[in-house]
Structure 1
Amino acid sequence: MLNPHTLFTERLKSHMKELNRYLKYILTGHLAIAMFFIFSALAVYYQKWLEQLPATFPVALIISLLLGLVATHSPIQTMLKKADIVFLIPAEYRLKGYFRRTLIYSYITQIYLFLFVYAALAPLYLTVYEGKTYGLLFLVLLIIKGWSLVANWWMLKVRDSSMRAVDVIVRYFLISAIIYFFIKQELILLLMVTVMLIGLLIYNFSLSKRQKAINWEVLIERDYVRMRSFYRLANMFTDVPHLETSVKKRAVIARVLTGAIPFQQNSSYTYLYRLTTARSGEYFGIYLRLLVIGALLILFVPNVWLKLIFAILFSYMTFIQLMPLWKHHTTIIWLDLYPVANNVRQESFIKWLQQLMFVQMLLFAVFLLIIESYITGGLMVIAAVTFTFLFVPRYVSAKISGKKT
């Protein structure tokens, strides 16, 4: 006989084991150290910025929008598997206790992100407003967060995805408005918006009651997408053999990257790695995102030397996250049939990484030259040459051969 409590306990143990398996690599990796340095530096400049905060800065609006986002964002970790759509559907009427426990688990795990954003915004709030109201706001938001999680669960029974999207948007603006009016102490407007939010929750509940069955496909797909995102993150630090990646055609980008490659046997892996970078759902996006984020930090950080350090750090982060490209095709046996020596494959991979890193670091150098000086841009060019042609080949060769760097 199916026991909801036993099922939840087993699924939770399996889920935590899978998370811990990769978290130890993430928390001790090079990227984690780099991110710690970046957050530490940003915290220092955040404090300096608060000391010179303009009187016209919309503190209440910014805080309400950010806290509203983390309060509204309430994904539910059901820990369901694809096979459950066959084996558990007949016992759906007995799984109320299981799903109730997943809601509690989801709420507890999301409190960490909520606390992080809340603590990060505390100095900004205390610069303008009194601390007592901010503490009370925390308690109010804990309740709203719970409401939002339950409302999200109710709406997951609705089959229409556009209706679910509209509900999230409306709920976000209502929660943000509640936070804004709470900060501004506009009690009448606060009461009105609160009544509107309660009305929306009642409407969510009525919609869920019309749907007798749980939307298993959506629940399983959302869990699958969340775990795939986690595996992508873990794959930056260690090999994740069961990681499934999405592929997009990106014909124009693929043509630009592969068009000049000569039709020769020794160019087989050059073509493969360039095409994989263009079409993969992870490498191309990672490269562009870190390039943009790095450029924005370089633009807004006031210290010249810190700009240079950030440029090098983001280049290093990009390099580390592109390293899994070497093992991207490990599970494809057809590559073993290529009549190409392994050293040619390694040389092709290293050369492609060098080209990617040199282009990114050169763009950072041009950006530094424009917003700072020729000296800063020149130093970045020297760093690009050193990193690309000295560090990259040595590091990649040692990693591939299994040696320590």
Structure 2
Amino acid sequence: MDTNQLWKERFSHHIKMLSRYLRLMFNDHLAFALIFFVAAGAYFYQQWLEGVPETFPVDWIMAVVLGLLLAHSPVRTFFKEADMVFLLSIENRLKPYMRNGIIYSLVIQAYWIAIFLFVFTPLYLKLYPDINAKYLLIMLGILIGIKVVNLLAVWFLDQTRDRRLQFLDLLVRLAINVMLVYFLVNSEFVYVSIAAFLIIGVAFLNYWNIFKQNSLPWDVLIEKEEARLQLFYRMANLSTDVPDLKRKPKKRHAIVRLITKPIKFDQSSTFVYLYFITFIRSGDYFGMYLRLMGLTVFFIYWVPLFWGKLIFAVLFLFVTGFQFITIYNHHKTLDWIQLYPVPETLRRKAVHQLIFLLMFFKVIVLFVFFIFVSDLIGAVIYGGIGLAFTLMFENFYVKSRIRKMS
């Protein structure tokens, strides 16, 4: 077996899967919202930079964020369940395969490091006026080099099943990476060199004590790869139907009792009960709703101008309603849903009610928050615009989308 060719086949399949779902996820509406979000964020970021105090701890913020990106270094293997049988006999010939996996992981993760460094650049140059663009390129090169060492350290440690050892390794590497970035930001190259030697030492210890002593734990590696794939599927499922998604419901008994208590126990409430429980117990929707709520509160607090706060609030209100339309097809693969002696109109009505209540509750929460970050008049303005937007979005856009999905 040519393991290099095997990698090319699996990489090609992976890219086709990514392109298919990303094309569905970033449709016209969501792409427009993201472009507007980036443009507005850049504008308010520039406005905020004009008044940023000189004592702002940009060095520590960059150290923590970039240090986390360096320490989190999973290696993509694209291993599948059948590999425990068919690749076990050629384990000693997988070096080209894993080399390609490390290179692919480096390219993807280095891209995110470059993006975050680019975002921090205006703030960094504002507070460190002596720094030039050439030094930023040197910094990026050093960070990518340290990322290579982190990837090797993680791959060497992946040969063990000891979760406590993996957690300890993560803490040690995180601390070293944070300090390395902090010294790099402050141009203290002696300490940068010391931190670099320490992280290389961690990788060497992992290689000598773990990698050299153990064979591949196929079941663990396959489980990790499947978890990464399912994470992407859960994100894609918020915008489109993903048949390969494995859903694991959460219990959340207290919240379920609170939500279902007002629902009438009759035939007309069948789908209301089903979709409300689906929203709470599914691992996708409830967590996404809370994260969107937190992001909205953060941007409303951070953006200085009232109309900017208003734009972000309405934008995130649209994203909230848009993301949960796909709950209509959540039970699409279950045949017994079709056996309910309940009209299809009640199913669509239940989804309408759920989306309206989610958006309405968000308007209420943000109305209260606007009172604290703005004033009562600003809160009333947002409340009126938010409520009008919710009614129009639910009655026109959601109705049209559900009709196409039916």
TM-score, normalised with respect to structure 1: 0.94
Which runs of 5 or more residues in structure 1 are unaligned? none
Partner of 1:20: 19
- Tell me the alpha carbon deviations over residues 339-358 of structure 1, each in whole angstroms, 9 at most, x when there is no partner: 10101111122112111111
Structure 1 segment 1-400 matched on structure 2, within 5 A: 2-127=1-126, 128=128, 129-131=130-132, 132-400=134-402
Cα 1:198–1:6, aligned 2, differ >3 Å: closer, same or farther?
A: closer
1:274-305 residue CA offsets vs partner (Å, 9 max, x unmatched): 11111110110011111111011111111101
CA contact under 8 A between 2:280 and 2:286: conserved in structure 1?
Answer: yes
Q: Is the 8 A contact 1:59 1:125 kept in 2?
A: yes
Measured against aligned partners, the alpha-carbon deviations of 1:127-154 in whole angstroms (never above 9, x if no partner) come to: 2141243322121111111111111100
State the Cα distance separating 1:46 from its structure 2 match: 1.7
Look up the SS of the partner of 2:216 in the other structure.
Answer: coil
Q: 2:149 touches 2:200 (CA, 8 Å); kept in 1? A: no
Q: Shift of the alpha carbon at 1:210?
A: 4.5
Distance of 1:334 and 1:322 partners within structure 2: 22
- Residues 3/204 of structure 1: CA separation in 2 closer, same or farther (3 Å cut): same
C-alpha change, 1:94 and 1:210, in structure 2 (3 Å) is closer
Contact 1:269–1:345, Cα closer than 8 Å, also in 2: yes
Q: How far did residue 234 of structure 1 move?
A: 1.9
Please say if residues 362 and 384 of structure 1, whose CA atoms lie closer than 8 Å, have aligned partners that are also in contact: no
CA contact (8 A) 2:150 2:199 kept: no
CA shift for structure 1 position 123: 1.5
Question: How many equivalent residue pairs?
Answer: 403
Give the Cα separation in 2 of the matches to 1:273 and 1:211.
51
1:213-253 CA-to-partner distances (Å, cap 9, x unmatched) read: 11222221222122222222222332222222221100000
| Deviation beyond 4 Å, 4+ runs, structure 1 | none
Q: Deviations over 1:169-209 (max 9, x none)?
A: 21121122122223333344334333322221221111223
Q: Does the 8 A contact of 2:79 with 2:222 survive in 1?
A: yes
Question: How far apart are 1:41 and its partner, in Å?
Answer: 1.5
User: 1:155–1:207: 8 Å Cα contact kept in structure 2?
Assistant: no
Task: Measure the CA separation in 1 of the matches of 2:12 and 2:117.
Answer: 29
Is the CA contact (8 Å cut-off) linking 1:158 and 1:211 kept in structure 2? Answer: no
Equivalent residues of 1:71, 1:148 under 8 A apart: yes
TM-score, scaled to structure 2 = 0.94
More deviation, 237-246/294-303? 237-246
Q: Aligned partners of 2:271, 2:151: CA distance in 1, in Å?
A: 48
Assess if the C-alpha contact under 8 Å between 1:68 and 1:175 holds in 2: yes
Q: Deviation per CA, 1:336-386, whole angstroms, max 9, x where unpaired?
A: 111101011111221121111111112112211332122222222222332
CA 1:27–1:341: 2 relative to 1, 3 Å: closer
After superposition, the Cα gap between the structure-2 partners of 1:320 and 1:211, relative to the gap in structure 1 and judged at 3 Å, is farther
Per-residue deviation, 1:331: 0.7
Q: Is 245-254 or 94-103 further displaced after alignment? A: 94-103
Letter in 1 for 2:298: L
- Check conservation: 2:158, 2:221, Cα contact below 8 A: yes
Query: Contact 2:250–2:283 (CA<8 Å) still a contact in 1?
Result: yes
Alpha-carbon distance in 1 for matches of 2:228, 2:251: 23
- The offset of 1:77, in angstroms, is 1.3
Q: Distance in 1 between matches of 2:159 and 2:382?
A: 54
Question: Cα 1:389–1:122, aligned 2, differ >3 Å: closer, same or farther?
Answer: closer
Equivalent pairs: percent with the same residue?
A: 37
User: Where do 5+ consecutive residues of structure 2 fail to align?
Assistant: none
